[in-house]
């Protein structure tokens, strides 16, 4: 689950003043995808996306296949304490943002932060399946200054989307990155080859 505050989000080539500020939430899976041309790509498979503004839902579903819906989002920052909640999406999360070396979440499958860091990105590719074309859309992200910092989740109550409702879900780790210049290259379609996503 990724939560992102965007600033001046816009199609590539448009000036910053034409951009918009949106809050985005993404539910994704870490995957390795084997392309039809023999490459193995590491990235994220998009399950569902949420935003705080209907304009972003509309635009997001025109330009992407990331299944945007609009929800209510309320955020508060008090010193090192960050709180975010949504009544409509039924989640409430509290995070300690202090610059400390926090231990991993209890029950994490990772042994240490170095191991967890491999899944803190940046993961260059996002994937979405296009059933009518029997293809996978591959989008490569371009980002700079990606320095994830561990944080501690002190409270977490989340009702996950239907496709993620599973009693085995476990918080593995949490991190924050800030002030990241971010853009996407034009997406590419790759013919779907059964059982090649894992």
The pLDDT tens digits of the residues spanning 87-112 come to 999 999 999 999 888 889 888 999 99
Burial of 174 (0-12, 13-18, 19+ CB in 10 A): buried
Kindly tell me if the per-residue pLDDT of 125 is higher than 90. yes
pLDDT class of 11 with cuts at 50, 70, 90? confident
Kindly tell me if the per-residue pLDDT of 72 is higher than 90. yes
pLDDT class of 119 with cuts at 50, 70, 90? confident
Here the tokens at position 197 are: 């996503």
Within its chain, how far is the Cα of 9 from the centroid?
Answer: 16
In the chain, where the domains are located: 24-191
**Res 167: pLDDT:** 67
Kindly tell me if the per-residue pLDDT of 7 is higher than 60. yes
Cα distance between residue 11 and residue 188, in whole Å: 17
pLDDT digits (tens, 9 = 90+) for 131-189: 899 999 999 999 888 999 999 999 999 887 776 776 678 899 999 999 998 888 989 99
pLDDT digits (tens, 9 = 90+) for 29-58: 999 999 999 999 999 998 889 999 999 999
Residue with the larger pLDDT of the pair 5 and 164: 5
Sign of CA dihedral 19, 23, 25, 30: positive
Percent composition of the chain: helix, strand, coil (DSSP 3-state, to 5): 10, 40, 45
Taking residues 68-78, what's their average pLDDT?
A: 95
Contact present, 2 and 29 (Cβ < 8 Å): no
**Res 15: pLDDT:** 86
Cα distance between residue 184 and residue 90, in whole Å: 30
Local structure of 152: helix, strand or coil: strand
Query: In degrees rounded to 5, what are phi and psi of residue 135?
Result: -140, 160
**Res 31: pLDDT:** 92
């Amino acid at each position: 689950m990724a939560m992102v505050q965007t600033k001046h989000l816009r199609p590539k080539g448009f000036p910053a003043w034409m951009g918009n500020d949106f809050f985005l939430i993404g539910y994704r899976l870490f995957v390795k995808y084997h392309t039809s041309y023999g490459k193995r790509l590491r990235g994220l498979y998009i399950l569902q996306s949420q935003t705080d503004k209907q304009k972003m839902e509309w635009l997001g579903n025109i330009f992407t296949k990331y299944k945007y819906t609009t929800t209510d989002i309320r955020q508060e920052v008090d010193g090192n304490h960050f709180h975010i909640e949504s009544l409509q999406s039924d989640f409430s999360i509290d995070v300690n943002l202090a610059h400390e070396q926090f231990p991993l979440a209890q029950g994490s499958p990772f042994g240490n932060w170095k191991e967890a860091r491999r899944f803190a990105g940046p993961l260059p590719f996002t994937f979405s399946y296009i059933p009518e074309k029997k293809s996978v859309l591959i989008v490569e992200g371009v980002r700079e200054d990606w320095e994830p910092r561990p944080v501690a989740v002190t409270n977490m109550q989340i009702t996950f989307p239907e496709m993620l409702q599973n009693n085995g879900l476990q918080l593995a780790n949490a991190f924050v990155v800030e002030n990241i210049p971010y853009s996407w290259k034009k997406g590419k379609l790759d013919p779907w080859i059964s059982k090649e996503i894992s």
